[in-house]
Amino acid sequence: MAYRRTDQVSARLAQTRRQILNSAREIISELGFSGAQMSDVAQRSGVATGTLYRYFANKEELCRQVFREVSTREMNMLATIASSDAPPEERLAKVLRTFAGRAIQGRRLAYALLAEPVDVGLAEERSRFRRTHAEIFAGILEEGVASGAFRLCDVRLSAACMAGAIPTVLIGSLAPDAEALETDAERIVDEIVAFCFSGVSHPDTRTFQTREERAAS
Amino acid sequence: MAYRRTDQVSARLAQTRRQILNSAREIISELGFSGAQMSDVAQRSGVATGTLYRYFANKEELCRQVFREVSTREMNMLATIASSDAPPEERLAKVLRTFAGRAIQGRRLAYALLAEPVDVGLAEERSRFRRTHAEIFAGILEEGVASGAFRLCDVRLSAACMAGAIPTVLIGSLAPDAEALETDAERIVDEIVAFCFSGVSHPDTRTFQTREERAAS
DNA sequence: CATAGATATGAATTGCCATTCATATTGATG
DNA sequence: CATCAATATGAATGGCAATTCATATCTATG
C-alpha cells in the first residue's frame, strides 16, 4: 500500500475546487458565461487549464455548478420571504421588490442568469431557476386568491407575467440606461411592483369600458 | 464589350436571392438561427454553399435579412392597429391580443425572434424589434394617459412590462405545454391581456401601497 | 529513501462550421 | 463560334476555444 488520500490533501483539493468555482463566478459576473474561457478561469485560480478537468467534467459542468450556487442563494432569499406569515399582498410586494432590487444591484450577473445566450446545459439550469421564481410567485398568488386578497386569476400565468416583466424592464434592450437605474432605482422598482400588483388586484373598472361609459357612471 | 447583365439574368439572380431567403426562413422557423447551417440552407435552395456568399456577405448578414423581413411584417401589423382611430383601450387590447395570438400561432419562429440565444449581430436586430414593440405599446399608453383612459404611469416602463410578460408566458420554460396552448389559446390570451391591461388601468381598491404611504400609515 | 499511485501541467489535438478559392459553367457580345 | 466576364461550385481551409494526454511533480507509506 503506497498511497492513501489524507485529510490534509482532501482539504487542499476542496480548497482548489472552491477556488475554481470562485474564480469562475467572478469572471462570469464580469463577462458572462460565454465570455468566461477555461484558460482564464484556470489562470485566475492559479492552476493549469488541464487541472480544471480534474475537478469538473467540462466547461458546462463548471458553469452549471456556478449557476446553481448563485441561483440557489437568490431563490432561497425569495423563498424565505414567501414563506413568512405576513398577508399575501405584503409577501408578494416584498418578493417582487427583492427580485427587482437584486437584479438592479447585480445587473451583470442577473444578465448572465436570466438573459445571456447560453446553450442547452445552462438553459436547463435557467429553466429551473425561472420556474422556481414563478412557483414562488404562484404560491403567494394562490393563497391570496383563496383568501380573497387577489382577484380570481390563472395564478401560474400571472406569475409568469411577473417573472417575465421584471427582467425585461431591468435587463437588456428595454431597460433604462445604467445611470437611470442607479439614480431612479426606487421609483422604477415601485412602478414595476405596482404594475405586477394591479395585474392580480381586484378591478373596479371593467377592462373594456370606454371613456363615455366611465363618464356616465 | 463582351458581357453586360441582362434583365433576364437580373431576374434570375433576384429569384435565387429570394429562394435563399425563403429557404433560410423555413429552416430558421424549424430549427432557429443557430440550427440553420449554411450548407443546409444552400442545399434546400438548390445551390452550392459557396453561392450563398455571392448573395450575402456571411451567415450573420443572411440571418439579419431574414430577421428583418419577418420582424418587419410583424411590426407593421402592430403599427397598423396602433395607428387606427379607435380609443386607446381598444387599440391596446387589440395590439396585445395580436402580439400574443401570433406568438402562439408561430411559436417556433417567435422563439427564434424573441428568445433564442443569438450572437451580437442578431441581438442588435432583436433589440430593434423589441424596442419597436415597446414603442408601439408606449405610444398607445401615452395617448391613453393623456386622455385619462389609463392611470398615470411610466409609459415606457409599463410598455416594457407588457413586452416582457407576453413572450415569457407563451414561449420558453414558463409557457404552458403545446397542447394547452392550442386548446386554451383564447383563454390564455384573454388572461394575458387582462393582466397587462390592469397594469395601466385606474385602480379602485389599492391593494398595493407605495413606500411613502406605508411609511405614513 | 524507494516506490506507486494521485495530482497537476500546458502544449498539442480536436471538432465544428463558417468561409474561401481554384476551377468549372454559364451568358452576352461582336 | 470565340472570347471574356459573371456566376456557380464544393472540397479544402481556417479559426477558435474546449478538451486531451504524455509528462512531470507531488504525497503517503513500508
| CATH number of the domain enclosing B192 | 1.10.357.10
Distances (CA, A) of A80 to A67, A86, A95, A117: 20, 12, 9, 29
Nearest to B28 by CA among B112, B98, B91, B140: B112
pLDDT band for position A213 (cuts 50, 70, 90): very low
A88 is a domain residue? yes
Nearest-neighbour CA in chain B from A163: distance (Å): 7
Residues from chain A contacting residue B157 (CB–CB below 8 Å): 169, 176, 188, 191-192, 195
Identify whether the C-beta of residue B52 lies closer than 8 Å to the C-beta of residue B42: yes
pLDDT band for position B202 (cuts 50, 70, 90): confident
Residue B190 identity: D
The answer to whether A199 contacts B201, with C-beta atoms less than 8 Å apart, is: no
Q: Does residue B131 sit in the same domain as residue B155?
A: yes
Q: Does residue B22 sit in the same domain as residue B121?
A: no
Q: Does residue A40 sit in the same domain as residue A88?
A: no
Task: Match 387589440 to its residue by C-alpha cell.
Answer: B94
Query: For a pLDDT cut of 90, what percent of chain B falls above it?
Result: 87
Distance A48 CA to D21 C1' (A): 14
A24 is a domain residue? yes
A72 is a domain residue? yes
The answer to whether A190 contacts B210, with C-beta atoms less than 8 Å apart, is: yes
Between helix B88-105 and helix B59-82 the angle, nearest 10°, is 140
- Closest CA in chain A for residue B164: A165
Q: Does residue B16 sit in the same domain as residue B99?
A: no
For residue B208, what is its C-alpha cell? 398595493
Distance A40 CA to C15 C1' (A): 21
Residue B158: the pLDDT is 98
The answer to whether B196 contacts A199, with C-beta atoms less than 8 Å apart, is: yes
For residue B157, what is its C-alpha cell? 416602463
Nearest-neighbour CA in chain B from A155: distance (Å): 10
Q: Does residue B97 sit in the same domain as residue B175?
A: yes
Residues from chain A contacting residue B186 (CB–CB below 8 Å): none
Identify whether the C-beta of residue A46 lies closer than 8 Å to the C-beta of residue A84: no
Q: What is the mean pLDDT of residues A154-180?
A: 97
CATH number at residue B32: 1.10.10.60
Distance B57 CA to C23 C1' (A): 21
A178-191 burial, b at 16+ Cβ within 10 Å, e below that, comes to eeebeeebeebbbb
- Rg of chain A, C-alpha, whole Å: 22
B116 is a domain residue? yes
Residues from chain B contacting residue A207 (CB–CB below 8 Å): 89, 93, 193-194, 197-198, 201
Which alpha helices (H) appear in A36-176, and where do they start and end? 38-45, 49-55, 59-82, 88-105, 107-114, 120-147, 155-170
Q: Which structural domain range is residue B162 located in?
A: 64-202
Residue nearest to nucleotide C8 (CA to C1'): A51
CA distance B114 to A172: 12
pLDDT band for position B216 (cuts 50, 70, 90): low
pLDDT band for position B213 (cuts 50, 70, 90): very low
Q: Does residue B68 sit in the same domain as residue B168?
A: yes
The answer to whether B192 contacts A161, with C-beta atoms less than 8 Å apart, is: yes
- Give the rounded distance of the alpha carbon of B40 from its chain centre: 25
The answer to whether B207 contacts A201, with C-beta atoms less than 8 Å apart, is: yes
For residue B107, what is its C-alpha cell? 411559436
Q: Does residue B44 sit in the same domain as residue B69?
A: no
- DSSP track, B106-129: THHHHHHHHTS---HHHHHHHHHH
Q: Which of B116, B161, B176 sits opposite A192 (nearest CB)?
A: B161
Q: Does residue B45 sit in the same domain as residue B146?
A: no
Residue B209: the pLDDT is 42
Nucleotides of D under 7 A from a protein CB: 3-12, 17-22, 27-30
Residues from chain A contacting residue B156 (CB–CB below 8 Å): 176
Q: Looking at beta carbons, which pairs linking B27-30 to residues 24 or more positions away fall under 8 Å?
A: B28/B63, B28/B66, B28/B109, B28/B112, B29/B106, B29/B108, B29/B109, B29/B112, B30/B108
- For residue A207, pLDDT over 50 is answered with no
Residue B210: the pLDDT is 40
Predicted confidence (pLDDT) per residue in B123-137, tens digit: 999 999 999 999 999
pLDDT band for position A110 (cuts 50, 70, 90): very high
Identify whether the C-beta of residue B192 lies closer than 8 Å to the C-beta of residue B166: yes
Q: Does residue A21 sit in the same domain as residue A118?
A: no
For residue A177, what is its C-alpha cell? 440606461
Nearest to B99 by CA among B57, B129, B69: B129
- Closest CA in chain A for residue B148: A211
- For residue A1, pLDDT over 90 is answered with no
- Rg of chain B, C-alpha, whole Å: 22
Residue B56: the pLDDT is 98
Number of domains in chain B: 2
DSSP 8-state assignment for residue B173:
T
